[in-house]
Structure formats: C-alpha cells, structure tokens
Amino acid sequence: MIIPVILAGGSGTRLWPLSRELYPKQLIDIYNENTMLQNTILRLEGIEMLGAPIVVCNEEHRFMTAEQLRKIKIDPHAIILEPVGRNTAPAIALAALKAMENNEDPILLVLPADHVIEKIGDFHAAIQAGLKYAEKDNLITFGIIPRSPEIGYGYIKKGEVLEKDTGASKIEKFVEKPDLPTAQRYIESRSYCWNSGMFMFQASAIIKELENHAPDIMILCKEVIATGVQDLDFFRLSLEGFKDIPSDSIDYAVMEKTSKGIMIPLDAGWNDLGSFDALWQTGQKDGDLNVIKGDVLTHDVKESYINSESSLIAAVGIEKFVIVETKDAILVSPRDRVQDVKKIVKQLKDLNRHESVTHRKVYRPWGSYETMDIEPRFQVKRITVKPGAKLSLQKHFHRAEHWIVVSGSAIITKGEKQMLLKEDESTYIPLGTLHRLENPGKIPLELIEVQSGSYLGEDDIVRFDDVYGRKED
C-alpha cells in the first residue's frame, strides 16, 4: 500500500498579502478553484493501492485543514499536529511511526502541500518508476528536470544511471542554492536536477536510516508519538516533548548521508509557487502576457500579475509588475523583486501588525467572521455559522454584543434562557453574560455583530463548553 504523507506546514511569506501566518499558501486557492492542499491530494487519484493520507500540519491550521479534506471527501489516516515547526525530518519521522501502527509497513509518498504539477500522467509514471526501487528498501527522491538556471532551488547531481527508460540514477550529491553562473553550468552539464522535496520510501526503511544518521531526532519522535493523544480529527503531540526535537530537513538528516538514495527525474510541469513571479509563470495569460484575477482594468500593461480581491484595480503603462490587493493590504512590486516581499512581512512582524498574521476574514471550525469596522470602543463583524454548527458557551469581561440576524435562523443561549431568532430579528448580550450562538438550519446563518466595550481583543473569551475542544482560540 502507498500512503501519501502531505507536509502542510509553513507560512508562505513570499506570497503576502494573499498568504498569512494563519492562512498560508497551501490552504488558499491561488492556482485554481481548489486549494493547494486539496490539489496535492486530488492529483493522486488513479494510483493503484493508494491508502488514506497522513497530513502533518501546524496546530493553528488544524480546523481549516480538516475542513478542506472534508470538502473533497477525504477521510485521512491521520492529521498530525505539530505544536511548533521542526522542518521535514521530524515531520517525516512522525508520519512513518504513525503509518507503522498495527504492524503495517506501507510505502510512504511524501509530498509538500504547496506544489503545482500540470502533467498528472507523467507524475504518476514517475511514482510507478520509483515504486519498484522503494519496495527494495531504497530512498527515492524526485528530481525536477530544470528549464532554466534557477537560483531559488537546491540541486541534485545524478550519479550512476540505473535505468535508461525512466532515467533512474544513484545520487552523487546534493548542492545548495547556487549563484547564477553556477546554476548556468549545472544546466549546461545536464547532470543536475532541481530538488523537489518529494520522496518515496518504505516506512521501515526511512525509520532505519533516521536511526542511523539522526538518532537524536528519532529517539524524541518515538517518545512524542508514544505520548500523543487522539483529539477529534487530530493526533496531538506534547509541546513539552516536541520542542526539544532538533529542527532539520530530511535532506541534511538522511538523504545526503545515506547510501540508498535514488533519484527519479520528473518533467511534469512542476512549480512550487514560491513567489508571485511563479504565479505569473503558471497563470493563464492574456494577449499582453498579463495574468489578471478579479476586478482589473488595464491600459498599456504587459507581462504583469494583477490580483484584486475586493476593489477595482486600474493600471496604466507598467511592465513586468505585480499588484495584489486584499481587503486590508496592497502589494506593488516589480516582478524581479518579489523575493523581497518577505522583508515587508518581517517589518510587519516587528511592528506587531496583524496584517502579517491574518486576513480581515478569519476562519473558525464553526464558520468565519470578518471585521467590517473597528474603533477604540466598538467593532462591527459579519459572522457566518455553518449549518448545524455552534460557537462555544462563553462570556466576556470587557465587552457587550448586539446580534442582528441577516439570513437564516439562530438559537441564542443567553444566561439561563434560549430563544430562536429569525431574519431581521436581534438580541443584546450584556457584558459578563453567559451566551452561545447556534445554527439549527440547513443554510448558513449570517449575522452582524456589534461589539462595544473597553477592550475588544479575541483573548477576552472565557469558554465553559466547546464541541471543538478549544481552550484559547
């Protein structure tokens, strides 16, 4: 059996303002109608002996991850929650240990959740080519046949060719991201591939190699797996044990040291969408080679990426530019400078601004809320509650709330009483009153919430009961 291991951590800072710390690129629909996470799983359809995936993600992204899997009708083998990021070696070690429960030893297909692969048939063929080597205890990586001398990727040098038809070869060495002249030499030699970060191996094989080459990681991973607990859809790991695990990539920890490494070359329209220039390269272009999304008007604009979420963008006389608008931020940059967007994100974090962390629209397991207006003593939100969902039973010490139902119906718990509100009806929740909001209907509940008080932060919530097991978020 092949079990996909989907690595869904990371924050995607180079795609700000579309991607935020709590809403990273793997969880947004930047390429097509599905999110990157959903595409990663959907492109595996048709592979024989394919098991349910193991998803490794940040604890803060757990509800969005579970909801996106549910929307494409995927029941995962496990969703492993990382309390803090520790790079790919611990993530893969945890997934391998989880996969081997019940004395099973499947083949693991390790895939980052934020890649684009356009030629699905070629991708499946490469997996089949790697499978026969993985079944013999080899560690397979997929090397991308390079199209240009990229300096943003690591490279893998081919060793002894094992099979001419598939191009499978031993791995001679891994090399870091090169400068441009070095990358040019790599391309001209035809001996190098881009390092894709995709792998394939038997669970027992990668565990053995981790034990040999990174025993400090493996020992601690075994301990946190042994003490982990199942919580609703999620497998939770102890922060106390997890934070002591060394942070290391699987390349450094194992692949550069093992004698069992084999590379399968892949030419399948791969892109890791690591920048807005990559979105331009992979996007559908108009006659002026522009990629346009949303409400955009242009005159004399060429080879640009323009994305509008909520407002009209009008652009005149620019070439090779990126303009991205969201409801709370606008990015303008030449296409050849978009790698520096992460420096803007650092400034935002240094200033403790929320734009680095979240959008105006915030997702919760019960639905979402969007801030419409905010001043020092009041805040207006639009709240959407999914059918059958309900918020926690809670109270606030510093704010009161007014709720006005716009569409749908709501069951309101207020103190010891319950009431049913319908469209155009409202209620008032005084400061300190125990309350809960629930959608008993079959359509989404939409309401406007007006908060008033001396402090309006999201941490002014005391929960008494929550069906999602939350304490603080």
Which pLDDT tens digit goes with each residue over 455-471? 998 889 999 998 887 76
Same domain membership, residue 264 and residue 149: yes
pLDDT at position 272, please?
87
Same domain membership, residue 453 and residue 403: yes
Q: Among 212, 241, 271, identify where a domain stops.
A: 271
The residue written with tokens 């989907």 in the block is: 6
Tell me the percentage of the chain whose pLDDT exceeds 90: 86
Same domain membership, residue 191 and residue 66: yes
Rounded to two decimals, what is the model's pTM? 0.88
The reply to whether 196 falls in a domain is yes
Per-residue pLDDT reduced to its tens digit, 211-266: 999 999 999 999 999 999 998 889 999 998 899 999 999 999 999 999 999 999 99
The residue written with tokens 């652009």 in the block is: 315
pLDDT band at 10 (very low <50, low <70, confident <90, very high): confident
pLDDT band at 147 (very low <50, low <70, confident <90, very high): confident
Same domain membership, residue 187 and residue 328: no
The reply to whether 350 falls in a domain is no
Same domain membership, residue 144 and residue 124: yes
Same domain membership, residue 380 and residue 242: no
Decide: helix, strand or coil at residue 206.
helix
Q: Among 311, 344, 377, identify where a domain stops.
A: 344
Same domain membership, residue 403 and residue 281: no
Same domain membership, residue 224 and residue 111: yes
Same domain membership, residue 116 and residue 68: yes
The reply to whether 471 falls in a domain is no
The total number of structural domains in the chain stands at 3
Same domain membership, residue 296 and residue 266: no
Same domain membership, residue 195 and residue 155: yes
Q: How far apart are CA 78 and CA 5, in angstroms?
A: 10
Indicate whether 472 pLDDT > 60. Answer: no
CA–CA distance from 156 to each of 32, 33, 213 (Å)?
30, 33, 20
Cis ω before 178 (30° cut-off from 0): no
Q: Among 271, 289, 308, identify where a domain stops.
A: 271
pLDDT band at 103 (very low <50, low <70, confident <90, very high): confident
Give 244's Cβ-side CA count (13 Å radius): 11
The reply to whether 55 falls in a domain is yes
DSSP string for residues in 109-164:
EEEETT-EES-HHHHHHHHHHHHHHHTTT-EEEEEEPPSS--SSS-EEEEEEES-T
418: domain CATH number? 2.60.120.10
Per-residue pLDDT reduced to its tens digit, 412-462: 999 999 999 999 999 999 999 999 999 999 999 999 999 999 999 888 999
Same domain membership, residue 38 and residue 175: yes
pLDDT at position 152, please?
84
The reply to whether 472 falls in a domain is no
204: domain CATH number? 3.90.550.10
The reply to whether 353 falls in a domain is no
Rounded to the nearest integer, the mean pLDDT of the chain is: 94
pLDDT at position 471, please?
63
Q: Are 459 and 471 in contact (CB under 8 A)?
A: no
pLDDT band at 32 (very low <50, low <70, confident <90, very high): confident
Task: Please work out, in degrees rounded to the nearest 5, the angle formed at the alpha carbon of residue 386 by the alpha carbons of 383 and 390.
Answer: 80
Burial 153-165 (b: 16+ CB within 10 A, else e): bbbbbbeeeeeee
Domain that holds residue 457: 361-465
